[in-house]
Amino acid sequence: MAHFEPNILERRRQRTLDAWNVTDDIVLIGGGSPISIPGGADQTFPFQTHPEYYWLTGRQREGGVLAYDAREGWTLFEPPLSQSEQVWGGSEAPVGRPIEELESWTKAREGRRIRWLGVTKYSEADPELRDRYLHVRRRKDEAEVSEMRRAVRATAAGHAVAKEMMRSGMTEREIQIEIEAAFYRAGADTVGYGTIVGSGPNATRLHSTPGSKPLQSGEFVVVDAGGMINGYTADVTRTHSVDGVWRNGMREIYDAVLTSQERTIAACVLGAEWGAIHILAARSLAEALKDMNVITVSADEAVETELISLFLPHGIGHMVGLGVRDASGPYPGRKGDNKFAGIRIRMDLPLDENYLVTVEPGLYFNNALLTNTEKREKYRSAVHWEKIEPWVGNVGIRIEDNILVTASGPVNLTSEIPK
């Protein structure tokens, strides 16, 4: 069975064809196959079909190919259930035509151009069709928004548990375990990405893997975790203080990120350029750093000289939904290599209706960035270095929500998750 209603898939296929404008070519979209774990005998990494295949088929069975011929429409090919699959189990029952027939199907169309997408065979993916298709997938349909709302409910359950565990002595691992258990209890099939629980020094690194480190009073803990349902995941970050203790400056730093996030979410309207949104968030953070007497230069100067990227070393967000990175990437025709406030954002495009994006400003006092000799020299007089000394390697914050862009303004799908 497909994870989407036939009429939903029909509409997606029509939207895709309208964008492709393919009249005589053959299009093949490969779903892909599980990847072996090196040296793992018959073990494979967890498998999901390629999003380009899944979005148009709703299918998670490995080894399938969706074919399109403008003269005949769409045909789905999947491998029949093998003897071994029937014995060991775990595979979806196949639908469509047996994959063995794909060869004769293409042979019967000899002389016509074949263009591949998804996980390709025999050739590279077609860049033109891929760009157009990616752009079509950016606008979420109602079925996707409804899957997202379910993923958000599961995600909220995990974050609620985490917030209650912010006591000294608790380990990052213990918190991770309870977050993920709550996801599954609330309906998640899996996690959308590796759960991040980073406390104290680990909060200053963007993607810290939880370990045996116990929480200490007065540390910040960055919790970045999302539950996934039917391939759709939320991507939510909250930062908490341990034992409710806020050490010198922590409240101001936290409020700076929160204010930046509120302003940035409000800017997620139709037509807004993502690059400009990144700069808005960065400038807001820089204003706060100026007010706190952390930097000596104006907020505008901190943005123009890229100083702010020492404290905000990542893009302000990305598309989310069908996978945690979903259909980001540049607008058709753009290269995606422009820098904004010192950051090369991968998602260089204007927002449109039903885009679903993360908004995740942060302030990090990361050791590698802030003790770098070259950077210290470059920004020698722009930063009150002695003031930030106690925070370097110890303080990091990120706050992240998932925002649906609509004609009537931004809708925060994850606003119920307490901060």
Nearer to Mn ion, 32 or 226 (CB): 226
Cα separation, 261 vs 323, whole angstroms: 23
| Residue 360 Cβ vs Mn ion, minimum distance, rounded to whole Å | 5
**Footprint of Mn ion on this chain (CB under 5 A)?**
235, 358
Cα separation, 23 vs 361, whole angstroms: 45
Nearer to Mn ion, 280 or 307 (CB): 280
Output phi, psi for 414, to 5 deg.
-115, 20
Q: Pairing state of beta strands 97-98 and 73-78?
A: parallel
Nearer to Mn ion, 147 or 235 (CB): 235
The answer to whether residues 418 and 157 touch, using CB atoms and an 8 Å cutoff, is: no
Nearer to Mn ion, 199 or 358 (CB): 358
Cross-strand bridge partners of residue 220: 241
Widest distance between CA atoms in the chain: 74
Nearer to Mn ion, 31 or 210 (CB): 210
| Residue 213 Cβ vs Mn ion, minimum distance, rounded to whole Å | 22
| Residue 121 Cβ vs Mn ion, minimum distance, rounded to whole Å | 32
Nearer to Mn ion, 226 or 330 (CB): 226
| Residue 400 Cβ vs Mn ion, minimum distance, rounded to whole Å | 6
| Residue 325 Cβ vs Mn ion, minimum distance, rounded to whole Å | 8
| Residue 193 Cβ vs Mn ion, minimum distance, rounded to whole Å | 8
| Residue 238 Cβ vs Mn ion, minimum distance, rounded to whole Å | 12
Q: Hey, how many other C-beta atoms are within 10 angstroms of the C-beta on 86?
A: 10
What tokens were used for 223? 């919790």
The answer to whether residues 97 and 75 touch, using CB atoms and an 8 Å cutoff, is: yes
Nearer to Mn ion, 64 or 198 (CB): 198
Q: Which amino acid is at 396?
A: G
Nearer to Mn ion, 328 or 358 (CB): 358
Cα separation, 161 vs 52, whole angstroms: 34
Residue among 183, 240, 178 at smallest CA distance from 215: 240
| Residue 358 Cβ vs Mn ion, minimum distance, rounded to whole Å | 4
Cross-strand bridge partners of residue 241: 220
Q: Hey, how many other C-beta atoms are within 10 angstroms of the C-beta on 405?
A: 22
Nearer to Mn ion, 102 or 320 (CB): 320
The answer to whether residues 333 and 306 touch, using CB atoms and an 8 Å cutoff, is: no
First to last CA, the chain: 39
Cα separation, 341 vs 313, whole angstroms: 10
The answer to whether residues 24 and 112 touch, using CB atoms and an 8 Å cutoff, is: yes
Nearer to Mn ion, 57 or 358 (CB): 358
| Residue 237 Cβ vs Mn ion, minimum distance, rounded to whole Å | 7
Cβ partners under 8 Å of residue 304, min gap 6: none
| Residue 192 Cβ vs Mn ion, minimum distance, rounded to whole Å | 10
What element of type H or E holds 401?
strand 401-406
Burial class (CB in 10 A: 0-12, 13-18, 19+), 121: exposed
